[in-house]
Every structure is written in C-alpha cells, then in structure tokens.
Chains A and B, each alone.
Chain A
Amino acid sequence: MHSETRLVLGGLTTLAVATAALVVLPYLTVRDTPPAPGLKPYTASALRGRTQYIQHGCMYCHSQQPRARDFAPDAKRGWGRATVAGDYAYDDPPLLGTMRTGPDLMNIGVRQPGEQWHLGHLFQPRAYVPGSIMPAYPFLFELRDKAEPGETVVTLPPGFVPEGKTVVARPEALDLVSYLKSLDRSYPAIDPTTTN
C-alpha cells in the first residue's frame, strides 16, 4: 500500500475513534433524553427571546449549567442544583456557555421574576448592579416623549433616563425578557446519566 494511503487511513481511524466517543455514543445515549418531569416547553414569545439571547451572544458571558455541590458552590449562590440532560430537552442548541463573566442564568427566572427589573437592567445594567460590566442594550428600547397606548414603559431608577423622555421596550426586549423569566429548573431532577 502507498504510504499516503496508510497515512490517511491511519488519520481517519484516529478521528473515527474520537468521533465515536464524543459524538456517536452521546448521540445514541443522551440525544433524545425526554424532558425532565416539571420542565415546561417554551412559549412562542420565549422562543423568540431565545433567538435574541443567541444573536446578542449572551452565552459568551453567562453559563446555563450550575455545577454539583461537591464541585463548586453554585447552589449556595442561588444558581440552582446541578443540571441534568433532561433539563435541556427543549434547547436547540443548548446554551451551556463557557464563561461566567456574569452569573449563571439557568434559574434566573426564579431569582428575578420581575419583568420591569429585567427590562431596566437590559437598558442600563449599572442602574441596578453598580460596577457591572455587562453591556447596555439601548437599541432594544426606544426613547419617546410619551408612550403610545399598549406599549410597555420601562421604569428606571432616577438619573438613568434623559430628562422628559420615556423608555419604551421594543418587542425584541419583551421577548428576551420572556425567555429569561422562563429559565427555571427548580423542580427536582432525577437523571442517572450524570454524576451529581
């Protein structure tokens, strides 16, 4: 056999082994894990908000995977129990994240159930969390002289809205907040595939 044939066959074999371990086996065992009992499907608005979450890259600073108690004090911070595969059954793709520049958000809907808090915090994070380095998202809002009927007005702490103006949430902001409020894995988890 030519040496290049042996080389390529060898290279493909090693990659096949890796793919079997990290892709094929998980595909066969955990891909179709049924939703954990207690996990609710997303509403249409929350799903649109999830798209907002992705397109603004929230997952680059926020994880969605509290770790086990014997590994890290995530539960003590109020971030919730360690997650299991069934918690992500409706997540396409899952947004586990790799950074905690900001806190874990897997249960942010439990910690911060208020729509107004989320809207104001997105408009200007430093109005609520001094020293926060989260970006402000003013383009998800509109500054008006007066809100139209049916629009959601955002009430911020004094000093963060220009004099005489009203902050109105755009639909994208409302969807995003609807998604954030839906993040709730506070039901009990039973899943044999993870080591808790």
Chain B
Amino acid sequence: MSTLSILMSAFVLSIVGLGFFIWSQRARLTDSGPEASEIIFAKGEIGHPEKAIDRTTPQAVSPRPDEAELLARVRADASSAQVVFFFYCCAFVWLLVASAAGLTASIKLHSPDWLTSEAWLSFGRIRTLHLNAVAYGWAPMAGLGTALFIIPRLLKTELAGARYALLGGALWNAALVAGLGSLAYGVSDGMEWLEIPWQIDILFVAGGALVGLPLILTLLRRTVAHLYVSVWYMGCALFWFPILFFVANFPGLHHGVEAATMNWWFGHNVLGLFYTPLALASIYYFLPKLIGRPIQSYNLSLLGFWGLAFFYGQVGGHHLIGGPVPGWLVTLSIVQSMMMILPVAAFTVNQHLTLKGHLSALRGSPTLQFICLGGLMYTASSVQGSFEALRSMNAVTHFTHYTVAHAHLGLYGFVSMVFFGAIYFVVPRITGREWPWPKLVTVHFWLAATGIAIYFVSLTIGGWLQGTAMLDPSRGFMESVHATLPYLRGRSVGGALMVLGHVIFAVHFIGLLAGASGRAVQPSPALNAATGDI
C-alpha cells in the first residue's frame, strides 16, 4: 500500500470511528439537557463559588443551597479525607525529590564537572531519578488523590473501600522507593519511562489495582443517575493505566525495534491516557465549582473526551519519525497527532465559553488561576505537539531540547499547575483547616508561572538553534552544543524558580498541618453532623 492510501484510510477510519463512538455513547452519557452539567452543584448553589470556610452558607445567599445536599457532600469528603491526605503527603515528598533531582540534572548540563565523583549523581542517573519521581511519584499521587476526592462527590455517595486505596498507595510508594533506589544504584531496564526493573513493577501493579478497587466499589453504590464528564476521564484513566503498565513491563515480551514502538506507545499514552485525563477531569470539576456556573457545552465535552480516547492512543509513533520502524506506523501516528487538534479545540472552546464573563473570579482565587493557566497550557502544549509530529518540523526539533521544553509545558504547565490548584482546593476540605498564609499561594503561583515561562522559552529557542545547527552539514556537531549553552543556563534559572515555588508550597502545607492558621475552618452544623459519626 502506498503511503498516501494509508494516510487517507487512517484519516477516514478515525473520523468514522469517532463519529460512531459518539453516536453509540451519546444516549446515556449526555442524558441531553443542561441538568447533566449541573449535577456538581447542590440545588440553589449555582452562581456561588464553593467556599471552604462556612460551607453551608455561601455568602448568606437566597435561596439557600439545599442543606441536605451540602451535608451529603460533607459526608463524601469525610469518607475520602484520610486516603486523600495520605496521597497528597506522598505527592509533596515526591515533588520535592523530583525538583531537587531535576534542578541538579539541569545544572549538570552546563557545568559538566560539577558533582562527578559519585555514579548516582551523574547526569544519566539523576535525570532518570527526576523523570521517575515525577512520573510515578508526584503526578500519580496528586492525580489519584484528587480523583479519590472528586469521585465520591460526583457519585453522591461515600467512598467505599478507602482502606484498599490506602494499602495500595502504601505499596505503590514502597515500590517507588525501591525503584528509585535501584536506578540510583544502576539497575535499570533501559527503556525511557520504563526504567524501573520489572520485578519491582509487580508491586506497582498490585498497588495500582488496590487503588482502583474503591472506584469500582463506589461506582456500584452511586446515587446519581448521570455520570459527570470528570468521571468518564478518571474512570477510563484508571482502566487504561494498568493495561499500559502491564503490557509494557511484561518481561521477555518485547524485542528489537518492536520494543521501541511499544516504548513510545507506552511513553506517550502514560501522558495522554493517564495524567492528561486526570488533570482534565480536575479542570471539568474545579473550574465550574470555583466560578459557580456549569460548563457551557456538555456535548463539546463529549467530543473532547471521545476524541482524546480515540486519537491519543495512536500518536506515540511520532517519537520514531526517521527511525528504523515500519513507515505506515509513523504515518498513522502523524495523522492521529494532527487529529488531536479536534478534541483539544473542543475543550478549549468549552473552557473559554464557560469562563466568559467570569474572568473577575480569577482575581480573588489563586486556585482558579492555577486551574485556568493549566487549561491554557493544555491547549498550547497539545497544539504544539501536533505540529511537532509533522515531518518538516520534526526534522528540526526531534533529538533536541525543544522536545524537553514541550514535555515540560505539558507535564508542568498543564498537569502540575492543575494539580497545584486541586490541592489548594481540596486540602482545607479534608483537613478542616484553611491555608494559613494566602499570600504564599500567590507567591507560589507567580514563581511557578514565571519559572515555567523562562524554562519553556529558553529551551524552545535553544532547542531550535540546536536543531537547525545539526541539520546544516557545513557546521560541526560542536556548534549545535555551543548554541544551546546560554539557554541551558536559562533553563536552570527557570527551574530554580519552580523549585523555590515548590518549597514554599511545601512549607505552607506544613504550616497548615502545624496549625499555624489561627483561623481553622469554623465548625458548621453540617461538618459537625458529618464528623460526629465518622
């Protein structure tokens, strides 16, 4: 078959497939009408952002929100509080570990003789520690913690089987400690994103399954007829990830260049089918909650979800453009990478329409700032990623720091920003304490935003210069190295700001736990009723 016919058939197949899926899923999942998107609000609550303090009376409004519904929500929060708190504590630890490792790796790239005496501190290992601490520590702990918080609220029931998630989380973190230890020691499976030895992966599988179990148990006890869009994302992510992880790490299964295609099937899908849906689910929940109005178009969110599910899984081959793999595979991935623009546009339009007229809410709420910036960066990094898959652009940017900048725009600018916002929203509700120093939230936001901006702009320019130098055979290879140096330093500056932001974030969390606030959440009738029988 010629490349053109493969290209055309892949295109037609994906469009027809997406259309069929949306048609077949539509009947139940949208339950047409605006009520579906209003399910996250109690009666009478629309128009009022959810406040942590004194949650029964949002600004003494009339009509007052339905007390019984608010009480049910408080019960839902109480049922998940312990396990969410555990996941968040782990997330904080891994965030700090990953930050330290990342900054060290960044500095080493422009100061190669710094800290060379120990093998575990060498670039190849500390960089891998950074990636794995983010990929299996910070991102899943924050994402799963948020999912465990949101799911009982959305299903209007209490979290069932929280102790399984707690045990699963403990196993998962034990596995990560063992995994990072073995990488530092020099035992690695040798594939990017899949470095942790498969023997340790068994623990991750067991832990992950135990974390997923409460989702199923809670779904069985749901008291709502309709599944809100966030449940689709989180539910599917929790099914997708174990399959990806299990297939990818199965020992002895993969070999030769097939292992390379599998590697990027996993590497890209762990971003697209795990972190991305968890973060998007958070946006679909927190954004409406924080501005007090339902999302604009529920049908657009349907398109966004099934588009992501259908196209994202097949984009991984664009990491192998120009590589020794079958040509049709690369072409398929390029087509599907471009198709990703569709669900991204659906999400973006939806977010814009929802926020329209409510921008003033951004001023008073740093949480909302994190979530909105994260949403914007989802659009930016996705569109950028689609274009990076085009051969003409890939010829320049592949193998350069440009790709690293892109990866951080996605996993930091989008996913981490959203999780920061989620944590700021959730922690007061599960601990019963308000963040003690609100100014620090603003400081964290600006450090993170400025840091990633410097990081991204530096590496994007540096990577592009590196790529164009490498494509010019009249310039020696070392020119492509020299070209990046100032930008690698710039990246370290941006990274340092991000790390500083994380330290402040963690100090603030400790301050909250230590009871520094002096303005603990006032006990409300609902809270008393709920905590009375935990």
Contact = CB atoms under 8 A, between A and B. Distances in A.
B258 to A, nearest CB: 4
Contacts of B3: 195
Contacts, number: 255
A191 B21 CA distance: 38
B326 interface: yes
B264 interface: yes
Interface string B316-359: 11011011111101001100000000000000000000000000
Interface stretch (B118-126, B164-172, B381-389, B504-512): B118-126
Interface string A57-98: 111110101011001110011000011110111011111111
B437 interface: no
A78 to B, nearest CB: 10
Given A93-B189, A135-B108, A77 B329 contact: no
Interface string B78-119: 000000000000000000000000000000111011001111
B240 A15 contact: yes
Contacts of B262: 22-23, 26-27
A11 B117 CA distance: 48
A1 B227 CA distance: 14
Interface residues of B, number: 93
Given A11-B236, A55-B186, A22 B116 contact: no
Given A10-B306, A18-B314, A94-B259, A135 B324 contact: no
Interface string A171-196: 00000000000000000000101110
Interface stretch (A28-36, A41-49, A112-120, A147-155): A28-36
B122 A6 contact: no
A77 B474 CA distance: 9
A131 B478 CA distance: 8
A71 B28 CA distance: 48
The interface residues of chain B, by DSSP majority, are classed as helix
Nearest to A2: B28
B446 interface: no
A125 B28 contact: no
A33 B125 CA distance: 31
B316 A68 contact: no
A85 B327 CA distance: 12
A100 B186 contact: no
A29 B326 contact: yes
B322 A71 contact: yes
A31 B25 contact: no
A137 B117 CA distance: 8
B259 A22 contact: no
A98 B255 CA distance: 18
Given A63-B399, A93-B190, A135-B124, A8 B236 contact: yes
B313 interface: yes
Given A19-B313, A60-B127, A6 B186 contact: no
Given A4-B219, A30-B257, A57-B123, A14 B190 contact: no
Contact of B235 (A4, A33, A76, A133): A4
A18 B470 CA distance: 33
Given A11-B309, A22-B262, A60 B128 contact: yes
Which of B118, B260, B478 has the most chain A CB atoms inside 10 A of its CB?
A: B260
Contacts of B109: 101, 133
B122 A137 contact: yes
B392 to A, nearest CB: 10
Given A71-B395, A98-B403, A139 B236 contact: no
8 contacts: A7-B236, A8-B239, A19-B313, A26-B262, A55-B187, A65-B323, A96-B257, A96-B324
